Amino acid sequence: MHLSRTVLSAALAGALGVAATGAWAQTVVKIGHVGPMTGAIAHLGKDNELGAKLAIEDLNAKGIKLGGQAVKFELLSEDDGADPKQGTSAATKLVDAKVNGVIGHLNSGTTIPASKIYHDAGIPQISPSATNPKYTLQGFKSAFRVVAHDGQLGGTLGRYAVKDLKSKNIAIIDDRTAYGQGVADEFQKAVKAAGGKVVGREFTNDKATDFNAILTKLKGTKPDLVFYGGMDAVAGPMLRQMKQLGIAANFMGGDGICTGELAKLAGDGMADSQVVCAEAGGVTKDKEAAMNAWRARFKDKTGQDVQIYAPYVYDAIMVMAGAMQKANSADPKKYLPELQKTSFDGVTGKIAFDPKGDIKDGTLTLYTYKAGKREVIKVVKQAAAARSLQVHSAESGPASREASCQCKKTGAFGCPFRFSLSKCASALHGTQAAPGVNHRVGVQGNGRNTLFGEPLSQIRVIGRALPADPHVLSGFATRLDRT
């Protein structure tokens, strides 16, 4: 059985979409969905839309009431073509249609500019897949995401490239979109922080098909790993051309390449275990059975395999509908406070939001490909990295080296933490462990990572708690207090 296409009545009226029919009234709640329904990554946009349709069907089967009236959920789907200008046009259309909430967009490059339009109109927006940190750093209380962001995604991949794959010469390419450049930037920071070497950085665009010039240039640096920040529609042909040029390097990328279509797009250009990618989500062992059952049901309903983010779209709609039920209203002003307080157990796991609108304690899943199929390497839970450092600067300097140090509380707040650098690798670039000198180090994202050349054996980290990775202390300032 395939999902029927949502039929939208032109007669819908009223700020909350209330339509009267005969002797009874039914509240029509309009949920907007935006993604690339045309273009090179239309397969991802359609995957998201199918997840949205399944959610709408399931909600309507529940017979939900709001304010004592029966509710009918309807989906308004718009195509943004993965283009920022088309994305803002789609957002304006949904605002004019008086939607009660929006799920989307797919790309960071369309999500970010559209978010201001929704914010100004007072319409809540949940992105199921946009990962650029800027999306939730704009101060919009209406903006949420149900996946990890690029700081977590790129950081995890960068450390994995250096520490696990033992890559020595790393080349980076990005497509200059908000997503592609953003995840590549975070990857590069993490590589350098882990002690890795970046031998070249090139860029292309999200519609390119010929990469011979940049690949030939990078071939001269003898990379053993190439990272691409962008989408699968470009990554596939890039892999084929790497093989043609004799570049025998591992290939890595973020969630944009981590799709079921990548193997088809790459053809014989992809060797088993050559590609490592990360999905900005994933389920832990206790949720695997539920996710597998959902994927099977999705295929039964739609005739399609899940590409990547359809389950997150499904959960995003359920989260939004759940907030409406708690508020007993589909009025955005009334249900937005409930959305901010969400605690929802979905098919993708537990969903709750921090004050910025980012998902709390999200997961990342590392994959490789064997025989053309994605295969899980490991699931990285961000819960251990739950608490974030309180920074004194908005700059985002490079992270320090990993510190596999034991720490203990030295204050009543769970921080500061004391690290004995004489017992482990230096937590800061360029420092030399030596006994007898203690320094207090203020956390500040200014990228400086020396302590005026002073020897030290212990440092005290001033901040509320640990960053996204508990083993990485990033962006230390050089304020010293001898103790």
Q: What is the pLDDT of residues 315-327, one digit of tens each?
A: 999 999 999 999 9
- Displacement of CA 242 from its chain's centroid (Å): 27
pLDDT reported for residue 99: 98
Strands 170-174 and 101-103 turn out to be unpaired
d(CA 254, CA 366): 9
- Displacement of CA 445 from its chain's centroid (Å): 22
The 10s digit of each residue's pLDDT in 213-225 is: 999 999 999 999 9
Closest of 476, 477, 427, 414 to residue 456, by C-alpha: 427
Sign of CA dihedral 208, 210, 213, 218: positive
CA distances from 472 to 156, 189, 405 (A): 11, 12, 10
Beta bridge partners of 217: none
pLDDT reported for residue 405: 32
Positions in the chain short of pLDDT 50: 1-24, 384-483
d(CA 341, CA 458): 40
Up-side HSE of residue 475: CA atoms within 13 Å toward CB?
A: 19
Measured CA angle at 302 (ends 342, 41), to 5 deg: 80
pLDDT reported for residue 421: 32
